[in-house]
A = this chain, B = another copy of it.
Amino acid sequence: MARASVVGTGMTDFGVYTKPIAELFADAALPAIDDAGIANDEIDAFYFGNVLGGATTNETHLAPQVASYIGLTPETSVQRYEDACATGSLALKHGVRAVETGDHDVVLVGGAEQCTPKGTGIETSEMTRIFGSGAHKQYEQAPGMTTASVFALHTQRHMHEYGTTEKHLAEVAVKNHYHGSMNSRAQFSEEKTVEEVLDSPIIASPFRLLDCCPFSDGASAVVIVSEDAAESYGVDPIDITGISHQANPVPVADQPNPPSTDMVRRAAQNVYEQADIGPNDVDVAEIHDCFTGAEILALEALGLFEDGQAGPATTEGRTRLDGEMPINPSGGLKAKGHPIGATGTAQIVELTEQLKGESGDRQVEDAKQAIAHNVGGMTATAVVTAMEARA
């Protein structure tokens, strides 16, 4: 019934890296390959996610280069995917399809990205412009929309309709920093208080600096195989029981209410059907919290909380590690970091470890069912993935 199984994972610490991107990716890919206990020549295909290389370091067509660096033989089918911040999940979708249909037996899926001013040599204002490249040039970039501000528009409307407050948003940041403090791979290891969040400077109202994920460098990788093949790898496989990719209209003005999460709602419904579960069955979730408001919107769109209830639920601690619905035990994009092409598969790395019970201090108890939620562009693309531990 599973569509594919994860048999190996690896990721770098997220932070600042000046090394070439192939070297950065190797630090995620080689551990993932080792974790699966396979040799390089067993890998049939390599799906690589990278978003900004063309604009930041004049590097496109990175897949064959990275493949050569990590020693994948030329017979390996290698390609790059770019779908903004959902890049890693789109690469994963294609990997799942490839092993599910038997087109390939073993697929390495991963991503690497350098977004920090130090990693790219590009200062913040210009990186803000490049980050905004997911927006429609004429109808979104021109009036001045940025990545933060599209989620800000949705969140402002959500606050207006449901009474969500800036304090609710701050509580998301506080919770994710708390989780991140237990994750040695997280970019931020320090806890934050609600006061610190509310005292930080505005980026795009209602979001303040501490409502926003950082610029990050990093890499992540997973090895996937078909459900049947998984047993033969001698490792503890975690099943991917569903993956759904849905789009929203562009530009954002044509996206429907409730605040532009229609594509997430469709993806969630579809993935729950694939996995034969409902939102009540989910034990742990990694959510695309690029901004605190994005987590609030997602929790409702995924059906984990009623519309309008995610803010209060967060304040009540229901999404903390010890709450009824632990969200972003990794620290999320907010505290773990968001090297955009690596984010999708990094969520899968975290959930694989959670479902194997290997997450240490931040382990969610009895985690059997998990979902990952990854958003790309100006709320244009969503991918929701369901994962399950074998009984």
Tell me, in angstroms, the Cα distance from A64 to B260 when the chains sit together.
Answer: 14
Interface string of A127-140 (1 = CB under 8 A from B): 00110111011100
- Interchain nearest-CB distance for A69 vs B (Å): 8
Complex contact B55–A58 (CB within 8 A)? yes
- Interchain nearest-CB distance for A46 vs B (Å): 9
Complex contact B250–A68 (CB within 8 A)? yes
- Interchain nearest-CB distance for A149 vs B (Å): 16
Within 8 A of B (CB), among A116-173: 129-130, 132-134, 136-138, 141
Tell me, in angstroms, the Cα distance from A249 to B80 when the chains sit together.
Answer: 15
Complex contact B254–A60 (CB within 8 A)? no
In the complex, the chain B residue whose C-beta lies closest to that of A248 is B74
In the complex, the chain B residue whose C-beta lies closest to that of A21 is B137
Binds B, one of A33-41, A185-193, A375-383: A375-383
Q: Is A18 an interface residue (CB 8 A)?
A: no
> Which of A60, A134, A245 counts the most chain B CB atoms within 10 A?
A60
Tally of A interface residues using CB under 8 Å? 58
Complex contact B137–A59 (CB within 8 A)? yes
Binds B, one of A82-90, A199-207, A210-218: A82-90
Complex contact B84–A81 (CB within 8 A)? no
Q: Is A364 an interface residue (CB 8 A)?
A: no
Complex contact B141–A64 (CB within 8 A)? no
Complex contact B58–A20 (CB within 8 A)? no
Q: Is A262 an interface residue (CB 8 A)?
A: yes
Q: Is A97 an interface residue (CB 8 A)?
A: yes
> Which of A63, A77, A381 counts the most chain B CB atoms within 10 A?
A63
Complex contact B78–A247 (CB within 8 A)? yes
Complex contact A64–B381 (CB within 8 A)? yes
Within 8 A of B (CB), among A48-65: 51-55, 57-61, 63-65
In the complex, the chain B residue whose C-beta lies closest to that of A59 is B137
Residues in B whose Cβ lies below 8 Å from that of A132:
58
Complex contact B138–A74 (CB within 8 A)? no
Can you list 23 contacts pairing A with B, beta carbon distance less than 8 Å? A20-B137, A52-B54, A52-B60, A54-B55, A55-B55, A57-B137, A58-B129, A58-B132, A61-B83, A61-B134, A61-B381, A63-B83, A64-B247, A64-B381, A65-B136, A67-B247, A68-B254, A74-B249, A74-B263, A76-B247, A78-B381, A79-B90, A81-B82
9 A-B pairs with the lowest CB-CB distances in the bound complex, closest first: A61-B84, A61-B377, A64-B380, A61-B134, A65-B250, A101-B101, A54-B54, A54-B55, A60-B133
Q: A60-B84, A60-B377, A68-B249 are in contact. List 20 more A-B contacts (CB 8 A).
A: A51-B54, A51-B60, A53-B133, A54-B54, A54-B82, A59-B133, A61-B378, A63-B83, A64-B247, A64-B380, A65-B380, A68-B250, A74-B246, A74-B249, A75-B246, A77-B247, A79-B83, A79-B381, A80-B81, A101-B101
